[in-house]
Amino acid sequence: MLQKRKKSTLSLVENYDLKSITIADIDKMLDGSEFEMYLYRLFIELGYSGVYKTVGSRDFGADVVFTDREGIRNVVQAKRYSEGNPVGISAVQEVFSCMRYYQAKKAIVIATAKFTEPCETLAGINHVKLLDRADLINIIEAYKKDNVRAAQDIIESEPRMILESWSEASNPVLREVRKDYKAEKYVKKVMGK
């Protein structure tokens, strides 16, 4: 017997005016695929070209692909998390790692929550744009007011960049290679020497 699924808000995304959907509606979406579909439709409504919704488990880390106003391809990772559940570094790792596959020059993570500090650091080092709940609300509000350019400006703004990574790399103590005599002894034993 098939279980009945709760009425999905996906029908809101697919069949209704996107301007009627609020952040509260997005919070009620049953799963991340509905949020991905919302962003897909939103990018089309914002006038972006080459908007593509990737297919489920074969997305390689991108949920939506689009070309911005400068003709640059972007990959987007969508994360619909509860407000108190911050997005971690895996979102940045996934979207950054798929850039070459989709021949994209920019990567964006759009979330319904905030990001962890390690996520923000990794994004800054890899120049991945992070758009959190507040940014998403600003995009939605700009779109609802027919201010497409303001919404695009938020999406296309430069990511926070961190130019110095791994500060411990300059520590001379860490550069020193220590000989592991136990490992060396084991290898010699296995190799018969």
**For 50-91, how does the pLDDT look when each residue is reduced to its tens digit (9 = 90+)?**
999 998 777 898 999 999 999 999 999 999 999 999 999 999
Q: Report the percentage of the chain scoring pLDDT > 70.
A: 82
Does 5 reside within a domain?
no
Does 155 reside within a domain?
yes
**How would residue 6 be classed by pLDDT, with cut points 50, 70 and 90?**
very low
16-30, 90-104, 130-144: lowest mean pLDDT where? 16-30
pLDDT of the residue at 59: 82
125 SS3 class: helix
**How would residue 16 be classed by pLDDT, with cut points 50, 70 and 90?**
confident
What number of other Cβ atoms are within 10 A of residue 59's Cβ? 19
**Residue 72: domain span:** 10-164
Q: Is 49 left (phi over 0), alpha (psi -120 to 50) or beta?
A: beta
**For 148-167, how does the pLDDT look when each residue is reduced to its tens digit (9 = 90+)?**
999 999 999 999 998 876 76
10 or 28: which leads in pLDDT: 28
d(CA 4, CA 168): 54
Does 113 reside within a domain?
yes
Does 180 reside within a domain?
no
CATH number at residue 31: 3.40.1350.10
Does 189 reside within a domain?
no
**How would residue 2 be classed by pLDDT, with cut points 50, 70 and 90?**
very low
d(CA 50, CA 30): 27
Is 33:116 a contact under the CB 8 Å cutoff? Answer: no
How many domains would you assign to the chain?
1
**Beta strand extents in the chain (DSSP E only):** 49-53, 64-67, 73-79, 106-111, 129-131
Interval 129-137 mean pLDDT = 98
Flag whether pLDDT at 174 surpasses 50.
yes
Does 59 reside within a domain?
yes
Does 112 reside within a domain?
yes
Does 177 reside within a domain?
no
pLDDT of the residue at 56: 75
